Amino acid sequence: MGFQPTFDAILSCFKGLPAPERILVSTHLAFLVVALSFASVRRVFDCIARRVTASKEDRPESIAPVRVDDWSISIVAIFDEDSLVFYLPSIQASAWLVLSLSVLHCKFKAFERYPLLLRLWWFVSFVLCVYIGYIDVTGIVRDGSKRLLSSHVLSNFAAAPALAFLCFVSIRGHTGIELHRGDFDLRERLLVEEEAGCLRVTPYSEAGIFSLVTLSWLNSLLSIGEKRPLELRDVPLLAPNDRSKTSYKILSSNWERQKAENPSKQPSLALAIFRSFWKEAACNAVFAGMNTLVSYVGPYLISYFVDYLGGRIAFPHEGYILASVFFVAKLVETIATRQWYLGVDILGMHVRSGLTAMVYRKGLRLSNTSRQSHTSGEIVNYMAVDVQRVGDYSWYLHDIWMLPLQIVLALAILYKNVGIASVATLIATIVSIVVTVPLAKMQEEYQDNLMTAKDDRMRKTSECLRNMRILKLQAWEERYRVMLEEMRGVEFKWLKKALYSQAFITFIFWGSPIFVSVVTFATSILLGGQLTAGGVLSALATFRILQEPLRNFPDLVSMIAQTKVSLDRISGFLQEEELQEDATIVLPRGFTNFAIEIKDGEFCWDPSSARPTLSDIQLKVEKGMRVAVCGMVGSGKSSFLSCILGEIPKISGEVKLCGSAAYVSQSAWIQSGNIEENILFGSPMDKAKYKSVIHACALKKDLELFSHGDQTIIGDRGINLSGGQKQRVQLARALYQDADIYLLDDPFSAVDAHTGTELFKEYILAALANKTVIFVSHQVEFLPAADLILVLKEGHIIQAGKYDELLQAGTDFNALVSAHHEAIEAMDISDDTAENPSEPVCVDSSLMFSERCKSTARNINTLAKEIPEKETPSDRKVIKEKKKAKRKGKKQLVQEEERERGKISMKVYLSYMAAAYKGLLIPLIILAQTMFQVLQIASNWWMAWANPQTKGDTPKTSNMVLLVVYMALAFGSSCFVFVRAILVATFGLAAAQKLFVKMLRSIFRAPMSFFDSTPAGRILNRVSVDQSVVDLDIPFRLGGFASTTIQLFGIVGVMTKVTWQVLLLFIPMAIACLWMQKYYMASSRELVRIVSIQKSPIIHLFGESIAGAATIRGFGQEKRFMKRNLYLLDCFARPFFCSFAAIEWLCLRMELLSTIVFAFCMTLLVSFPHGSIDPSMAGLAVTYGLNLNARLSRWILSFCKLENKIISIERIHQYCQIPSEAPPIVESCRPPLSWPDNGTIELDNLKARYKECLPMVLHGITCTFPGGRKIGIVGRTGSGKSTLIQSLFRMVEPADGKIIIDSIDISTIGIHDLRSRLSIIPQDPALFEGTIRGNLDPLEEHSDHEVWQALDKCQLGEVIRRKELKLDTPVLENGDNWSVGQRQLVSLGRALLKQARILVLDEATASVDTATDNLIQKIIRTEFRDCTVCTIAHRIPTVIDSDLVLVLSDGRVAEFDNPMRLLEDKTSMFYKLVSEYSTRSTSV
C-alpha cells in the first residue's frame, strides 16, 4: 500500500546507525514490546473476567472495538527519512516513560518488591551502558575528538550514574514500602494511646546508600515541619547504636578497664574516649582526607585553564575535559564534606552522651569529703560546659593531621607555579603558625579565668534561686543581686580580654594568607622568576584554600588547650573518692535475727579531723524492734542514721544490715513531678497498698484539698507543699517501698500535735508493727513506745535502754524528760484533762484515739459547713465526678516550659542590635567588611591584570610597582578586617552585658509565684547556657553572616563581570536557595527550640539528684535514676541529631546548586571563541567560582546558625519581661523611719491564693493583733498558717481585703520598706555558702561584738568559740556542715540582730529538742518583750503562754481569744488541740 518503501528506508537508516546505538534501540524496543504485551494480555484477561460476570444484555456495549491495524499503520505512516533522527531516540524516551509509569504503579499499588521484568530491564540497561562506554572510550582513543561530540556518547556518559543506581536497586529488589498485615487494628489503637514519635526509629539507621549520600532520609521530618511547628513527639527515636546507653557503656567500660590495668598510674580520659570511638573517627577521617585531596584539584588546574583560554591548547577538547574535571572534583568535595561534618557531629554527640552519664553516675556516688570540694553548681558546670567542650572538639579532631597535608599539597602546587619561591611560602606559613602559639596560650589563660569566674557566678546564682524565699522575706535580694552583678563584673573582665584577643587573632589570620602571598610573590620576583596570570591565579586559589586551615590553627591550638582543661576537670572529678563500698555489709533477708549490728564503730565526716563525729558505737537491733534516738541539738543523731546507711566515712568497726532499708531525711527531699510519682518512687502501682499508705500517712484530707489530688504537680523542691505535707509525702514514699528497716530522721517535727499522734499510731505502731524502725525524735512523748532508747551526746551513746530504766538512771535523759514535763505543766490543763471522765487517758489508747479523731472531724465539718452529714454511695460518685471535671479545668502550678513558635520575630533581632550603642556600630561593621572585600578583589584583580598571560609576554608594569600596589591593597584589606573584628567584639560585649543585667534584675524582681512554678533548672539554663551563647557566639555569628553575605556578592560580581550569562542561572538558583532555606528553617528553628527546652530537665534532674543523693542511695534507687538520666539525654539527643543533620541536608543541596552554576560558568568560558574574553579575567572568575559553593553554603549556614543562636536571645528576652512584684520603694508613700512603732496588725476580710489558677487558701480572715503582744497561730497542717504569714510579708498579694500595720495599709507602701521592718524565723532554715558572720549579717550592719551577743543568746556561742576560725567558720553549700537544729538557731540569731518591732516565728523551733526550745522561748520573751511576736507552732507549749491565740481551719478563723479563755470552753478547737497534745504527753 505504499508503506513498504518507508519501512525499507527505516531499516536501511537503522543499519546505518553505530553498533552501540543499534544495540541500545533494539533492547529498549524489545523490552517496550514485552512490557506492552504483558499489559495487553493482563487487560484481555481482565475483560474476559468482567464479561463472564456481566449480564447478556450488556455484552455488546461492554467492550469498545479496538482497531489495532489502523493504529499500527498510522504510527508507521509518520516515519520518513528526514524525521528518523528525531524518532529513533523517541523509542528510548517511550521506553523510559513506560519504566517511570511502572515505578509509579508499584508505589501506587504498594508493592514491597519491584516486578522481575523491571529489575531485569534496569540490570541489562546498566550492562549495555558499561559495554557502550567501553566501545566509546576505545573509539575516542582511536579516532580523536570527532567521536567525543557524538550525541549518543554524551548521553551514555550522562546516564551512567543513574543506571548504576538503578542496577543496585534491581539487585536489592525492595521498593522501601513496608506492609503490616493482620494486626493493623491493634497498631491503630496503640498509636492513639502512645506518642507516634516515640514509636518510630530514625530512618537513618536503615537508610540505603543513595539516601545516606543525599540525606533524603530526613525528608519526612522536614515535610512535617513545613506544615506545622514540630513537637518532640514528631522527632523519631535514635538508632540503638546512637543512644546514650550504648555510648555510656562503651566509655565507662574503657575508663574502668584503664583504671584496673594500672591502678598506680593516673588514668587518661582522652585515651578512654579514643578507645571507645576510634572506629567512628577513622571512618570520618576517610571523608576528611577525600575532601582535602579534591579541594586542591581546582587550584592545580587553574593555570592550565588560563593557558587554554590564552590559546595554548594541549590536546583536543581540553576545555571541556578541564570543565568536567572541575565539576566532578567539586561534586566529590561537596558529598565528602557533608558526610565528614555529619560524622563529626554524631561522634561529638556520642562523646557528650557518654561523658554526661558518667558525670551523673559519679555525682550519685560521691563521698561527703568529695562532695564538699565540688558544689552542685560546679558539678552542673562539668556537665553543661566541660562535657560540651569535649564533644565540640570532634570538629577539630582531624585538623591535627590535615593541616600538614594541606600545607604539603599547597607547596606542591606553588612549586609548580612559582618554583623555588615556594620555600619562602613554607617559611612564611611556619612564622604565621608560630606567632599564634603565645596568643593561644594567652587565650587559654583568659578562658580558664573566664570559666572559673563563671563557676563562681553560677554557684552563687544557684544558691540565690534555692533560697529566694529567704532573700525576699529578709529584704536581702537587692544585696545579693548586687553581689551577682559584681561577680559578673569579674567574669566580664575576662570575657572582654578573651573577645579582644580573639579579635586580634582574627586580624592575624585574615592577614596571614595575605602575608604569605606577599612573601611568595616578592621572593619570586626578587629571584628573577617571571610570574604569569595563570600561575598567580593558581597561587591565589591555593592561598585561599590554605587560608582556612591557617585561620583555624589558633582555634585548633585554643581548642586543644580548652579541651585539655575540660578533660582534666572531668577526669579529676571522675577520680574523686566515692562512698566506701564496705561501709555497710548488707545481708540477705532472713540471714540473721539481728536487723542492724554495729561493732566498735568510729565515724567522721572529715577524715582529717582529730575528733571523730561518732565514736565507740556498739549496737545490736533485733528484727521488729522500735529504736528511738534522742539527744540535744548537734549531738550526732542524724550522723548516727548516716552511719547505718554508709553515708559517713567509716574509720573503724563494722556495720551489718539484714534486708532492705528505707530512709526519711530530716530536711524533706521532694522530687519534681506529681505526688503519686513521689510516693511510688519507681515502684509499680498497687491501688490497695497505695490507699493504705495514704491513710497511714494522714494524707487523705490534704489530697482532697489539692485541686488535682495526687496528680498535683509539685513545684521546685516541694514549694507548693507545707512543711508537714512534705514530711508526710516522704514517709509515704518510704512506707510504699515495703522495706525491712526504716530509718526516720525526726519525722514528726514539721507536723501538728494531732497529725503527729495520728502518724505515730497509724504509721509507726500499726503500719510498721512488724518492721525494724529507728527513729530520731525530739518529742519525748513518743519515747515510751520504743523497745530501745539511745541517748546521744557529743557523738557517743551515753545511755541505752527502755524508757523506765533510763528515767531511773537519771543524767541526760532525765534532763530531756524534765524539760518536756516543765513545758506540759506550763499548759496547766493536763490534770483537768486527766480527770475528765469523758476522755479517758490510758484505758484504751486506740479507742481514745479513734474517738478523738471523730470528734475533731465533727468539729471541722460543722465549722466548714461543706460536707453533708450523710452521703449515699451514689452521692459520693456524683461528688467524685464533679471533682474530676473541676480538676481538668484547673491549671497545675508547674507548667511545661514555654517556647515561642514559628518564625523568630524581627523585634528579637532589632532588640539585640539596639542593645549596644543603639545600633550605631552595625553600619560601621558592614562598611569595614565591604571595604575589606573590595580591596581584596582589587588586589587579586591587580595581580591577574598586571602579570603577563603567558611566559615571554611583556608585563604591563614594573615588578616594584606590581609589588607595592599589591601590598598596599592587601594590607589595607587586612586592616579593615581588624577594625571589623574590634567593632564586633565591642558591640557583642556591650549587648551581652546589657541583656544579662536586664534579665538578672527581672528575675530578682519577679514575684515568689514565679519561683514556685519555675524549676530552678530552667532559670539556670538561661543564665548559663543561653548567656554563654550571647557572650561568645552571637556577636561573631552576626559578624560572620555580614562578612559571608558581602563575600558572596563579591564572588557573584566577579563572575558576572566576566560572564554575565551566569546571572541567567544564578537568579533562579538564588530563588531556589531562598526557598530551600525557608523550607529548612521551618523545621530547624523548632528543633533548636526543642533542644533548648530538653536541656533544662537534664540540668534539673542533675541538681535534684545531687541534693537528694542520700535518699536515692538509702532506697537503693541509683539504677533507676541512672536510667532516667539516660532517657533525658536521649530526649535531648533526638532533636539535636535531627537539627545538625538538617543543616547538612540544606548545605548539600545549596552546594550542589552552586556546583551546577560553577559548571555552567566553566562551560560558557570554554564555549566562547578564543580571544573574545581576557584569559586573566576568566581565570579570576574561576578562582572565585571555586569558592562559590563553599561561600554559598556558608552564607546560608551562617544565617541558619545565627537564627538558631538568636533563639537564646529570644529565651533571655522572655525572662526580661517577667511580670514583677510590687515596687520595692514607693517614693510618694514611704513609712516613717520609726514605723512600725507600736506593731498593731489588723487583718480585714483577708483572702489569698498562690496563683490565679489555684484555689483560695485564705477565706476572708478578719482579726486584730494588738501591738507588743504575743500571738500564737495554730491549726492543723494545711490550714493556712504559713499563707497568712506570707500575706503579711506580701509574698502572696491579697486577692481581696487588706492588712494594716500601725494605721498604714501595707499594700500602699514599697515591699522593701515593708519587709525590711519585719523580722522572721522561717520554717525551712537556710544557710548561704560563706561564713557564720556572713550568714548572720549579710548586709554588714553590725559589729563583731553584737554578732557574738546574738550567737550567745541563740545558744551557738560556745559551739562557734570551739571552732578554729570563730566567726569566719565556713558554711558549706546549703549549710550541709551544720545540723538542721543549728541552722534554725542561726535563723534566730539573724532575728536577734535585726531587732524589728514585729517578729514572726514560723515553726522556728521544730527541729530542736524540748529543752533547747524552752530556752529559746525564754530568750524570745526577754529579748522581744516589747515586740509583736506571731508564733506558728505545732508544739502547744510554745504558744500556750501567748497573749492571744488564733486558731485557723481550712483558711478561716475558727477561734481568736486569750488561750486561758479558750481552754475554759470545752468545745473549742484550741481545747481539743491542747488536750490532744497533753493526752499524748501524759500517756507517756
Set of cell numbers at residue 1200: 541558619
pLDDT band at 61 (very low <50, low <70, confident <90, very high): very low
Residue 1482 pLDDT exceeds 60: no
Note the pLDDT tens digit of each residue in 785-820.
888 888 888 888 888 888 888 877 766 677 777 776
Residue 1456 pLDDT exceeds 80: yes
1156, 339 Cβ separation under 8 angstroms: no
362, 326 Cβ separation under 8 angstroms: no
Residue 423 pLDDT exceeds 80: yes
> What is the percentage of the chain residues whose pLDDT exceeds 70?
80
**Sequence-ordered list of residues with C-beta below 8 angstroms from that of 317, at least 6 positions apart, any chain:** 145, 148, 149
- Tell me the C-alpha distance between 1261 and 1240, whole Å: 16
According to the per-residue pLDDT averaged within each range, which of 174-178, 435-439, 637-641, 1251-1255 is highest?
637-641
The pLDDT score that the predictor gives to residue 464 is: 87
Pairing verdict, β 1370-1371 and 1398-1402 = unpaired
Query: Cβ atoms within 10 A of the Cβ of 513, count?
Result: 25
Q: Look at residues 771, 642, 645, 640 and name the one whose alpha carbon lies nearest to residue 696.
A: 771
The pLDDT score that the predictor gives to residue 701 is: 81
pLDDT band at 1426 (very low <50, low <70, confident <90, very high): confident
Q: Which residue has the higher pLDDT, 436 or 274?
A: 274
> What is the percentage of the chain residues whose pLDDT exceeds 90?
5
Average pLDDT over residues 982-996: 90
Note the pLDDT tens digit of each residue in 873-882.
444 444 444 4
Set of cell numbers at residue 1014: 519555675
729, 721 Cβ separation under 8 angstroms: yes
- Tell me the C-alpha distance between 910 and 991, whole Å: 12
Lowest mean pLDDT of 553-567, 850-864, 1115-1129, 1445-1459, name the range. 850-864
Edge-to-edge strand ranges of the sheet holding 1296-1301: 1258-1265, 1241-1248, 1296-1301, 1304-1305
What 8-state DSSP symbol labels residue 1429?
A: E
1270, 1222 Cβ separation under 8 angstroms: no
The pLDDT score that the predictor gives to residue 836 is: 42
Strands (E), 42-181: none
Edge-to-edge strand ranges of the sheet holding 594-603: 585-587, 650-658, 594-603, 614-622
Which one-letter amino acid corresponds to residue 458? M
Chain-centre distance for alpha carbon 928: 37
158, 92 Cβ separation under 8 angstroms: no
**Sequence-ordered list of residues with C-beta below 8 angstroms from that of 121, at least 6 positions apart, any chain:** 31, 35, 99
Q: Which residue has the higher pLDDT, 522 or 544?
A: 522
How many helices (H) and strands (E) the chain has is answered by 55, 24
Q: Is the dihedral of CA 38, 42, 43, 48 positive or negative?
A: positive
3-state secondary structure of 1270: strand
The pLDDT score that the predictor gives to residue 247 is: 92
Q: Which helix (H) or strand (E) holds 103?
A: helix 84-108
Q: Alpha helix locations (H) across 633-719?
A: 637-645, 675-680, 687-696, 700-705
Q: Which residue has the higher pLDDT, 898 or 1247?
A: 1247
**Sequence-ordered list of residues with C-beta below 8 angstroms from that of 771, at least 6 positions apart, any chain:** 624, 739, 740, 741, 742
pLDDT band at 781 (very low <50, low <70, confident <90, very high): confident
pLDDT band at 1332 (very low <50, low <70, confident <90, very high): confident
- Rounded to the nearest 10°, the torsion over CA 21, 27, 31, 34 is 120
- Tell me the C-alpha distance between 125 and 1140, whole Å: 38
According to the per-residue pLDDT averaged within each range, which of 482-496, 703-717, 1426-1440 is highest?
482-496
Q: Look at residues 162, 569, 504 and name the one whose alpha carbon lies nearest to residue 359.
A: 569
What is the DSSP annotation of 705-753? HSTTGGGPEE-GGGTTS-HHHHHHHHHHHHHHTT-SEEEEESTTTTS-H
Pairing verdict, β 1258-1265 and 1304-1305 = unpaired
Q: Look at residues 403, 389, 401 and name the one whose alpha carbon lies nearest to residue 270.
A: 389
513, 550 Cβ separation under 8 angstroms: yes
Q: Look at residues 608, 767, 774 and name the one whose alpha carbon lies nearest to residue 696.
A: 767
Can you say whether residue 240 is alpha, beta or left, with left for phi > 0 and alpha for psi between -120 and 50 degrees?
A: alpha
Q: Residue 691: phi, psi to the nearest 5?
A: -65, -40
Strands (E), 559-666: 585-587, 594-603, 614-622, 626-631, 650-658, 661-664
pLDDT band at 1484 (very low <50, low <70, confident <90, very high): very low
DSSP-based helix, strand, coil % in the chain, nearest 5: 65, 10, 25
The pLDDT score that the predictor gives to residue 493 is: 92
1328, 1335 Cβ separation under 8 angstroms: yes
Average pLDDT over residues 722-748: 86
* Cis peptide preceding 1236, ω within 30 of 0: yes
Set of cell numbers at residue 976: 579593615
pLDDT band at 841 (very low <50, low <70, confident <90, very high): very low
1313, 1230 Cβ separation under 8 angstroms: yes
The pLDDT score that the predictor gives to residue 869 is: 35
Average pLDDT over residues 1416-1433: 82
Set of cell numbers at residue 367: 563521698
Longest dimension (CA), the chain: 138
**Sequence-ordered list of residues with C-beta below 8 angstroms from that of 26, at least 6 positions apart, any chain:** none
Q: Look at residues 761, 791, 780 and name the one whose alpha carbon lies nearest to residue 819.
A: 780
- Tell me the C-alpha distance between 1251 and 1291, whole Å: 11
**Sequence-ordered list of residues with C-beta below 8 angstroms from that of 252, at least 6 positions apart, any chain:** 354, 357, 358, 361
Q: Look at residues 1316, 1335, 1317 and name the one whose alpha carbon lies nearest to residue 1325.
A: 1335
- Tell me the C-alpha distance between 411 and 546, whole Å: 10
Average pLDDT over residues 927-945: 84
Which one-letter amino acid corresponds to residue 193? E
In angstroms, the Cα distances linking 1276 to 137, 323, 745, 856, 1481 are 97, 88, 22, 11, 18
Average pLDDT over residues 37-47: 57
First to last CA, the chain: 129
Residue 1059 pLDDT exceeds 90: no
According to the per-residue pLDDT averaged within each range, which of 184-188, 597-601, 830-834, 901-905 is highest?
597-601
Average pLDDT over residues 728-735: 89
635, 790 Cβ separation under 8 angstroms: no
Q: Which residue has the higher pLDDT, 533 or 485?
A: 485
The chain-wide mean pLDDT, for the chain, equals 77
According to the per-residue pLDDT averaged within each range, which of 29-33, 125-129, 486-490, 858-862 is highest?
486-490
pLDDT band at 5 (very low <50, low <70, confident <90, very high): low
In angstroms, the Cα distances linking 180 to 112, 184, 206, 297, 1154 are 11, 7, 18, 50, 42
656, 622 Cβ separation under 8 angstroms: no
Question: How open is the CA angle 944-945-946, to the nearest 5 degrees?
Answer: 100
- Tell me the C-alpha distance between 539 and 521, whole Å: 9
- Tell me the C-alpha distance between 888 and 711, whole Å: 11
**Sequence-ordered list of residues with C-beta below 8 angstroms from that of 414, at least 6 positions apart, any chain:** 421, 422, 425, 520, 539, 542
Residue 1468 pLDDT exceeds 80: yes
For residue 915, list its beta bridge partners. Answer: none
Note the pLDDT tens digit of each residue in 344-388.
999 999 999 999 999 999 888 888 777 777 777 778 778 878 888
Q: Alpha helix locations (H) across 527-595?
A: 533-574
